[in-house]
Amino acid sequence: MPDYHDDLRLAHVLADAADAATMDRFKALDLKVETKPDMTPVSEADKAAEELIRGHLQRARPRDAILGEEYGVEGTGPRRWVVDPIDGTKNYVRGVPVWATLIALTEAGEGGYQPVVGVVSAPALGRRWWAAKGGGAYTGRSLTSATRLQVSKVSRLGDASLAYSSLSGWEEQGRLDGFLDLTRSVWRTRGYGDFWPYMMVAEGSVDLCAEPELSLWDMAANAIVVTEAGGTFTGLDGRPGPHSSNAAASNGLLHDELLGYLNQRY
C-alpha cells in the first residue's frame, strides 16, 4: 500500500495556512459577500483561502491537478486535490463557528477518483480531523498530538442518533416522508449540518447522517475520515465514496436501514 504520510503532512500545512486566512476575516464587519449563479453565498475569505491552497500546491505538487469549489479544475493526471475552502459559508458570514476547510487528495482508480488523504479543519471550533488510506482516522491539534477515531457500535435504529442539515432538500427530491419516518424511528435527531455530522459519525458521537444534494468537494475529505474510522460512506444509491451528488454516512451497522428509509418514494 502506498505511503501517504508526506501528502498528509502537506495537507496539514495547507490547512494551517487556510485557517490563518479564514480566521483573520471571521466576524469582520467589512467582509465582502457575493451571490454565485447557484444563489449560494461566497465571501472574499472563500476565494482567498482557495487561492492560498492552490498557490502552495502549485509549488509543492506541480504535477498534481486541483479541483476547488471557487475556481474549478486545473491540471490533469492521476492525482487530484479536492478543496472546499469554507464548507459552511452561510455560517461563516453570519458569525456561526461551524465551518471548516476541507482538503482531500484523490487518486484515479476504479469508479473514478477515490480519496486517499483527507483533512477537515474547523479553526473557530478549535478542532481538526484527518485520515489517510490504510492509516486510520484521527483528531487532535497535530499529527503528533492526536486521538484515533472509531465509529460507534450502536446496532439498533431505536438507539441511534441521527444528524441532518435541513428538510428542504429532502422535500424537493420527494424523499421527505421517508426521511421523517427515519426521524421517528431513531432515538435522537439534531440538525448540525455541513461537515460536522460526518466527523461526529467518525468519532462515534453520532451514528447516522445524510444529505440529499452535495458536490464532490463537500464530500471527499469527509468520506475518507468516516471510512478510515470504520464507518460507511455512500451515496443514497449505495455507491461507495463521494460520487453520487448526495451522501449517507453511518457506523456501518445501520447503513442498510438508513438507505432503506431515505429511498422510500411516495
Give the separation between CA 226 and CA 199, rounded to whole angstroms: 7
Among 257, 133, 111, 118, residue whose Cα is nearest residue 195: 118
Asked if 166 and 195 touch (Cβ cutoff 8 Å), the reply is: no
Is 84 labeled as ligand-binding?
yes
Give the separation between CA 175 and CA 212, rounded to whole angstroms: 9
- What phi-psi label fits residue 175: left (phi over 0), alpha (psi between -120 and 50 degrees) or beta? alpha
Give the separation between CA 170 and CA 118, rounded to whole angstroms: 27
Is 66 labeled as ligand-binding?
no
Give the separation between CA 63 and CA 57, rounded to whole angstroms: 9
Is 86 labeled as ligand-binding?
yes
Element (H, E) at 4: none
Is 38 labeled as ligand-binding?
no
Is 87 labeled as ligand-binding?
yes
Residues at the binding site are: 69, 84, 86-87, 218
Residues at the binding site for Mg(2+) are: 69, 84, 86-87, 218
